[in-house]
Amino acid sequence: MKITRSGSIARPALFAAMLLSGAAACWSPAARAASAAEIARDSTQALRQLQASEPKARALAEKAVAVLVFPKIVKAGMLVGGENGDGALLKKGRVEAYYDLSGASFGLQAGIQTFSYALFFMNEQALQYLDRSDGWALGAAPNVVVINKGAAASMSTTTLTQDVYAIPFGQEGLMAGIGLEGTKITRIHPQ
């Protein structure tokens, strides 16, 4: 009896398995271990680039008590997806701590992309929550508002009422929808 695979899900499933295993290899701690100096440099540079290209980001940074910058997040998926990146918490321009952002997602998705994220902490309570939590699952308190390009144009920095504002930027690659659902931020201690 001969078994044929034409018309089956074998090829897409094989492609998805290869994509995810490659992504998992890239996300392993050994494969992506960046030094504290590299994370600090890249985070500071990414925030400068964001502020130069987006005046609202500059205004947010001036009002924020701290900014958590993830200069390079890699997101990949084929029905099941994941994202990961390391960043630095900047307070008054100085690095205070280092964090890892990771997440998983399920559903209709395909592709790979890289992007950056800046989270502007507008009050000490939100910053203390990040510091005290053993991994902050976004969606839990404090409130986070994602500001995309369209929302940034109409945003007024005189009426800021949320705990944290998040701005995705520098998007490269093909994948729809950059969100924070299913994302966890955990403190790390790079060398």
> CA 107 from chain center: how many Å?
19
How confident is the model over 134-184, as pLDDT tens digits? 888 876 667 788 887 554 445 555 556 789 999 988 876 444 455 666 689
How confident is the model over 65-107, as pLDDT tens digits? 999 999 999 988 888 888 999 999 999 999 999 999 999 877 7
Mean pLDDT for the chain overall: 78
Rounded Cα–Cα distance for residues 178 and 180 (Å): 7
pTM: 0.77
Contact 88, 69 (CB under 8 A): yes
Q: Is 62 helix (H, G, I), strand (E, B) or coil?
A: helix
